Structure 1
Amino acid sequence: MAKVKVGVAGYGVIGQRLADGVALQEDMELVGVADVAPTLAIRALKEKGMPYKLYSAMPENQQLFDKLNIPIAGTLEDLVQNVDIMLDATSAGVGAKNKELYKRYGKKAVFQGGEKNSVADVFFHGYANYEQGLGQDFLKLTSCNTTGLIRAVDCIDRKVGVEKVAITIIRRVADPGDYHRGLTNALQVDKAPSHQAVDLMTIMPHIDATGILVHAPVTHGHIITVLAKTKQKISKETLLEYFRENARIRVVRLEDGFLGNASLFKYARDLGNPRGDMYEIAVWEESIVHSGDDIMFAINIPQESDVIPENIDAIRAALRMQNDRMEAVGLTNKYLGMRPNKGV
């Protein structure tokens, strides 16, 4: 069976990781990546020997690439014509403009969380609503925080049902290497409810969700506390069992040295994961407590990499590579090297 041909538009924080993730899928072929200028990521790609073909999304910048001897395989339009589906990881708003190009050539596309929901036919999550994405032309992923939050809530909901969640998000202020947010020494509170809670209800409309978000002057990972009202009361041990069954959730313990977001980032680097990435969200065993019949826990969101598996799920759904949800996410997990985690 021929491999599905995939292109990536935007070779930034997410685009780099999408390219790597697609390249690992044995039933997909990464045709190439596109960007507008020789950014540091593109320069690193060249220094690594150009493992991926590079296409120019802004042909008028050709001389900038020529000056650095960076080979260009063609234009973004050329790339689009040679793929079955595009993963659009461009800056917010650019994807909506690129959509017109995708439509012109009858190509499907997957957009990231920064785009408006109106850009897509379906607001998509691999575990929670895979079936709604089947055969659709345009899918939009949830943000990194919402992606991880839905993983955890969906994991519980499919076992015992969830009626309501209340969340608090301690949000990293910028990605590593970013300077546009400035140098800060403050916490900033957003107006409630946070968009992550609203987005969860869009994906899982049967759950009542609300939340508060606090920006923190750190760069490696968000932390979310979740207070869940379940339809059946569950014990801490049962909840841990549910989480450990899920390949995209890693159970960790404070006792073992996982003290926070920085511990998890360092652990990912010690594992040898490229860029210190971790596809899994992490839940702290010691954070799980009861509040009456409700249950509370805290999760870590590796914001640069946790959406990669769901993007690949979206390819599988849009192209109907697998109609069964668990078969699809299982293949994504397998090719990414993820395994059900039984604790560290």
Structure 2
Amino acid sequence: MVKVGVAGYGVIGQRLADGVALQKDMELVGVADIAPTLAVRALKEKGMPYKFYNSLPENQKLLEDAGIPVSGTLEDLVQQVDIMLDATSAGIGAKNKEIYAKYNKKAIFQGGEKNSVADVFFHGYANYEKGVGKQFLKLTSCNTTGLIRAVDCLDRVVGIEKVAITIIRRVADPGDYHRGLTNALQIDKAPNHQAVDLMTIMPHINATGILVHTPVTHGHIITVVATPKKKISKDEVLKAFNSHDRIRVVRIADGFLGNASLFRYARDLGNPRGDMYEIAIWEESIVESGNDIMFAINIPQESVVIPETMDAIRAAMEMQTNGAEGVAITNKYLGMGKWK
């Protein structure tokens, strides 16, 4: 049983803790944060299903005044685990790495950290074997994670030469205020980092892209134009996507009109927080343009990286050294593909 700790109990950290708790061959030792945030207060109100550790000792009284039971410090947590999942704010993970290294522990960092923090820039499907046995892994961002799932899926079937993407990016997570309220679209310079990151993970594919920030909170949408190495039909593309346990093919005709439809459907399914681990691809968006294939993906930014993080634990801890075996077990415990 691999023992896991989570540093940073925010948007991603909460979901990582839940994801680990679902893995039958892992044990969640505890979670760490610095203050009685709303997420930590909710943890207390739920009866403290996870032990809580204080990452900032000078905040001990603040936590005590909020009635948060504290089991120790971040260093106490690190000493009890085999591997840490770091979901802290960008830059904090690099500082925490010093603690992980001090106790010779393995760690997995999220997409906000610089690539230099880790030994391997990791994706469960595209380069699982490169992460096997490594001490420090870094996940791709939410958009890059979902994008690689779809591109890798087709690449395995027909080979992909290049992709051009446009990302319609949500401006902030639900409940966030730091970006303010806007009535504007903002464009970033090309190529966006997701295209560059895809090429880092899959160097045999030429990728470029444009990103547009939009004043919404529930999910990103990415349009992809993929150039295959040989002609592939829409039916063959559909078959490939339908066979992938982390891709849900949906239809506009069935009422999936956009990102809000998918978020509502996840809530109607009773998924905690309305989370979706899978990306969605609209069937009606898949079109042939000469030899190219175009399609559109929905990225549920709060939860899409959870499966790949579970894969990273499996690779780093050598629980499974074969990628296909590792992702299959993650999928099983997370219930991926159950809608088929």
TM band (smaller chain):
over 0.9
Secondary structure class of the residue paired with 1:128? helix
Q: 2:31 is matched with which residue?
A: 33
CA deviation after TM superposition for structure 1 residue 261, in Å: 0.3
Structure 1: distance between partners of 2:297 and 2:48: 36
Identify which of 319, 322, 337 aligns with 1:321. 319
1:260 maps to amino acid: G
Q: Where does 1:19-58 land on structure 2 (aligned, <5 Å)?
A: 19-58=17-56
**Aligned residues of 1:248 and 1:340 also touching (Cα < 8 A):** no
Letter in 2 for 1:222: H
User: Is residue 117 of structure 2 the alignment partner of residue 134 of structure 1?
Assistant: no
Alignment partners' CA distance in 1, 2:31 and 2:231: 48
The answer to whether 1:207 aligns with 2:205 is: yes
Q: List structure 1 runs of 4+ shifted beyond 6 angstroms.
A: none
2:164 is matched by which residue type in structure 1? Answer: A
1:111 is aligned with what amino acid?
F
- CA separation in 2, counterparts of 1:6 and 1:86? 6
Equivalent of 2:334 in 311, 330, 336: 336
1:59, distance to aligned residue in structure 2 (A): 1.1
Match of 2:117 in 1: 119
- Could you say which residue in structure 1 is the equivalent of 2:156? 158
Gaps of 5+ in 1: none
Amino acid at match of 2:54: S
Please report the RMSD computed on the Cα atoms of aligned residues, expressed in angstroms.
0.6
Q: How far apart, CA to CA, are the structure 2 residues paired with 1:24 and 1:215?
A: 34
Task: Give the Cα separation in 1 of the matches to 2:109 and 2:15.
Answer: 14
- Give, in angstroms, the shift of residue 340 of structure 1: 6.0
Which amino acid is the alignment partner of residue 193 of structure 2? H
Whole-Å Cα distance in 1 between the matches of residues 246 and 337 of structure 2?
8
Pick the aligned partner of 1:145 from 127, 143, 146: 143
In the other structure, the counterpart of 2:277 is 279
Distance in 2 (CA, whole Å) between partners of 1:9 and 1:277 is 20
Kindly report which structure 2 residues correspond to 1:1-344, keeping only aligned pairs within 5 A, or say none.
3-339=1-337, 341-342=339-340
CA distance in 2, matches of 1:22, 1:62: 26
Map Cα deviations across residues 257-303 of structure 1 (whole Å, 9 max, x no partner): 00000000000000000000000000000000111110000000000
Question: 1:204 Cα deviation (Å)?
Answer: 0.0
Query: Residue by residue, what CA displacement relative to the aligned partner does 1:194-228 show, whole Å, maximum 9, x if unpaired?
Result: 00000000000000000000000000000000000
Cα drift, residue 341 of structure 1: 5.0
Q: Contact 1:247–1:338 at 8 Å: present in 2 too? A: yes
The residue identity in structure 2 corresponding to 1:198 is V
SS of aligned partner of 1:129: helix
1:209 counterpart SS class: strand
Q: Is the 8 A contact 1:288 1:295 kept in 2?
A: yes
Percent sequence identity is 80
Secondary structure in 1 aligned to 2:168? strand
SS at 2:16 equivalent:
helix
Query: Counterpart of 1:114 in 2: which secondary structure?
Result: coil
The 8 Å contact of residues 249 and 341 in structure 1, kept in 2 or not, is answered as no
Give the TM-score of the pair, scaled to structure 2: 0.99
SS of aligned partner of 1:223: strand
Report if aligned partners of 1:32, 1:79 keep a CA contact under 8 Å in 2.
yes
**Aligned partner letter, 2:153:** C
Q: Partner of 1:74: helix, strand, or coil? A: coil
Q: Deviations over 1:28-52 (max 9, x none)?
A: 0000000000000000000000000
Normalised TM-score (structure 1): 0.98
Q: In the TM superposition, what whole-angstrom CA distance separates every residue of 1:171-215 from its partner, at most 9, and x where no partner exists?
A: 000000000001000000000000000000000000000000000
Deviation at 1:306, TM superposition (A): 0.3
**d(CA) in 1 for partners of 2:321, 2:68:** 40
Alpha-carbon distance, 1:75 to partner: 0.2
Structure 1 pair 340/68, CA: closer, same or farther in 2 (3 Å)?
Answer: closer
Residue type of the alignment partner of 2:269: L
